[in-house]
Structure 1
Amino acid sequence: MTEKVVFLDDDGLAASTQLKRPGFEHQWQQYAYTQPDQVLEHLKDATVALTCSVPLREEHLRQLPKLKMISLALTGRDIVDVDYCEAHGIQVSSVPGYAANTVAEHSLAMILELFRRPAAFTRLMRQVRDGQAPFKNIYFDHRIRDVRGRQLAIIGSGPIAIRLAELARHLGMQVLFEDRGGKRQGADVRPLNELLKSCDVLSINCPLTPQTYNLIDADQLALMKPDALVINTGRGGVVNEAALIDALKGNRLGGVALDVVEHEPLHPSNPLFQLLDRDDFILNPHIAWSSEDAMQQLMDSAVDNITHFINGQAELPVKRTQSA
């Protein structure tokens, strides 16, 4: 039997990504993007669907009798009605942990920028060049601090959190983890409020759940040192953004770096944009995961999942995974 594999949305791939094909006889079809009203048309007669971000809901799935596998090229399984798939024998596979290193590196890059300020000094040199800032013998316009010896507090316990801890320790940072409501034990684990009072950097590397929504609010931010940093490459909504804006504007934090926000994609009307002219604020459009290396690994693994399934692993149960 010739399988029909449909890639629903390849427009999210970097130009450098080489898309390999499954290792079995197949018909391949791909689209730049698939709108909700195009899902049934694009997946007609498909046996395998490959998707980066196109949702596949029960109203679609029950009209696709030939579909037997969905390969998710991102780890977020919330875009698929997994319970329906499980009940009707449709295999759902994802690529958990693929971005552990790249998101951890991005988190560390944000920490280093806010401590060392190389980009801020480059912006200052542009102002000097353009006559907008005075030429001087030496510049102390931005505070520069060493990373070594600082305390990094991590909220999260998944592959990204573990990799960030490893990298930070190599730089001489003291790494501690939040105890996740008493669920995590160890010499390097502390209750949240204790960490907030002592840390120099707070890094958010956990999923967004009802328990973590607004976990860091005005009361928690008030516990932190006035020169501490908040880094969020986990999920928007874990930190209350209005409280974060107030704390930074009030000079009650030393810096903030965000790769994720509560409402994505980032819209110019978002109040966070009012902080963009500050050199102690970094705002990225959820790109920490998207290095060329990680994206290539992601797509290779997503296609490998298809090959493994078709070549005899159809009996595998639907796996539920969540990165943190």
Structure 2
Amino acid sequence: MSEQIVFLDDDGLAPSTRLKSPSFKHSWKQFAYTRPEQVLEHLQDATIALTCSVPLREEHLRQLPKLKMISLALTGRDIVDVDYCDAHGIQVSSVPGYAANTVAEHSLAMILELFRRPAAFTRLMRQVHAGEAAYQNIYFNHRIRDVRDKHLAIIGSGPIAMRLAHLARAFGMQVLFEDRGGKRTGPDCRPLAELLKNCDVLSINCPLTPETYNLIDAEQLALMKHDAVVVNTGRGGVVNEAALIAALENGRLGGVALDVVEHEPLHPSNPLFSLIERDDFLLNPHIAWSSEDAMQQLMDSAVDNISEFVARQQVTRRIRSA
């Protein structure tokens, strides 16, 4: 039996990413992107769907009787109606934890930029070269601080948070975690208010849930040191963006770095762009997850999930025919 595999959105891959070819008999079709109105057309004959970001909802799934398996090149499964799939025997797989190292490294890179300012000084040298800034012997245009012995407060307890803690400790930082309202205990856990008052860096590495939406608002930001920095590589919406803008503009924070925002993709009209010329503000378009290494691992695992599913199906068929 030949499986009909359809990859719905390969434009989500970096050019360097190489796709494995499954060893079982199959046909393979892929599209740059699949809009909602194209889902049924593209998956009409598919037995297996592979997707990076295209949602598959019940209104699609109930019209795809041949579909047996959905392989998500993602950590979570929220873009698929999993309850429908469970009820109708459609296997759904994802790739949890693939981005743990790459997002943690990106978080640390943002922390280091806000403390050490190498990119800001490069921009200054461009201005000097262009005659827009004074040529002089030594420059103190940007404050430079060591991260060693600084206190890092992490909101989150998953693989990314744990990897960031490991990397930060290697730099000599003191790491503490938010205690999740008393649900997480240990010598390195503290109540949120205590963390905010004492930390030099606040790193958001948690999912967006009803409990974490606007978890960090104007009231919480007011507790922080005036030179503390906020880094969010978790999810937009955990930090209230209007409050964050006000805090930075009014000198109540030492810096802000965002890889995620509440409304993505990041639109040019977003109020956060009012900060874009500041050297104490970093804004990235949700790319912390997308290193070449992590993306290759992601796609290898997504294809491996397909191969494992087909292998189990083949074993089941052999048992039934014996």
TM-score range, shorter chain: over 0.9
The whole-number CA distance in structure 1 between the counterparts of 2:96 and 2:103 is: 13
Contact in 1 for aligned 2:76/2:95 (Cα 8 Å): no
- Aligned twin of 1:208: 208
SS at structure 1 position matched to 2:312: coil
Aligned-pair CA distance for 1:259: 0.1
| Equivalent runs, 1:270-309 vs 2, <5 Å | 270-309=270-309
- Any stretches of 5+ residues in structure 2 without a counterpart? 317-322
- Aligned twin of 2:66: 66
The whole-number CA distance in structure 1 between the counterparts of 2:315 and 2:163 is: 32
| 2:12 maps to amino acid | G
Aligned-pair CA distance for 1:315: 10
The whole-number CA distance in structure 2 between the counterparts of 1:56 and 1:300 is: 21
The whole-number CA distance in structure 1 between the counterparts of 2:231 and 2:258 is: 6
- Aligned twin of 2:148: 148
- Aligned twin of 2:320: none
Contact in 2 for aligned 1:91/1:314 (Cα 8 Å): no
- Aligned twin of 2:191: 191
| 2:115 maps to amino acid | F
| 1:136 maps to amino acid | Q
Q: Percent identity?
A: 82
| 1:102 maps to amino acid | T
| 1:110 maps to amino acid | M
| 2:76 maps to amino acid | G
- Aligned twin of 1:134: 134
1:214–1:314 distance in 2 versus 1, CA, 3 Å: farther
Residues 1:242 and 2:242 aligned together: yes
1:168–1:62 distance in 2 versus 1, CA, 3 Å: same
For residues 30-88 of structure 1, what are the alpha-carbon distances to aligned partners after superposition, in whole Å with 9 as ceiling and x for unaligned? Answer: 01111111111110111100000011000100000010100000123111000000110
1:41–1:164 distance in 2 versus 1, CA, 3 Å: same
What TM-score does the superposition give when structure 1 sets the normalisation length?
A: 0.96
- Aligned twin of 2:48: 48
Residues 1:266 and 2:266 aligned together: yes
The whole-number CA distance in structure 2 between the counterparts of 1:84 and 1:76 is: 16
| 2:156 maps to amino acid | G
| Equivalent runs, 1:86-105 vs 2, <5 Å | 86-105=86-105
Aligned-pair CA distance for 1:314: 8.7
The whole-number CA distance in structure 2 between the counterparts of 1:112 and 1:280 is: 12
1:315–1:36 distance in 2 versus 1, CA, 3 Å: farther
- Aligned twin of 2:222: 222
For residues 155-191 of structure 1, what are the alpha-carbon distances to aligned partners after superposition, in whole Å with 9 as ceiling and x for unaligned? Answer: 0000000000000000000000000111111000000
Contact in 1 for aligned 2:4/2:46 (Cα 8 Å): yes
Of structures 1 and 2, the one scoring higher in RCO (CA 8 A, sep 6+) is 1
Aligned-pair CA distance for 1:23: 2.3
| 1:133 maps to amino acid | A
Contact in 2 for aligned 1:20/1:303 (Cα 8 Å): yes
| 2:208 maps to amino acid | L
For residues 95-125 of structure 1, what are the alpha-carbon distances to aligned partners after superposition, in whole Å with 9 as ceiling and x for unaligned? Answer: 0000000000000000000000000000000
Residues 1:251 and 2:251 aligned together: yes
1:314–1:98 distance in 2 versus 1, CA, 3 Å: farther
1:286–1:314 distance in 2 versus 1, CA, 3 Å: farther
| 2:57 maps to amino acid | R
The whole-number CA distance in structure 2 between the counterparts of 1:201 and 1:100 is: 19
RMSD: 1.2
Contact in 2 for aligned 1:3/1:47 (Cα 8 Å): yes
The whole-number CA distance in structure 1 between the counterparts of 2:160 and 2:302 is: 19
| 2:267 maps to amino acid | H
What TM-score does the superposition give when structure 2 sets the normalisation length?
A: 0.97
- Of 278-287 and 16-25, more deviation after overlay is shown by 16-25
- Any stretches of 5+ residues in structure 1 without a counterpart? 317-324
- Of 69-78 and 142-151, more deviation after overlay is shown by 69-78
- Aligned twin of 1:167: 167
| 1:153 maps to amino acid | A
Residues 1:78 and 2:78 aligned together: yes
- List structure 1 runs of 4+ shifted beyond 3 angstroms: 313-316
The whole-number CA distance in structure 1 between the counterparts of 2:236 and 2:18 is: 30
| 1:157 maps to amino acid | S
- Aligned twin of 2:12: 12
| 1:19 maps to amino acid | L
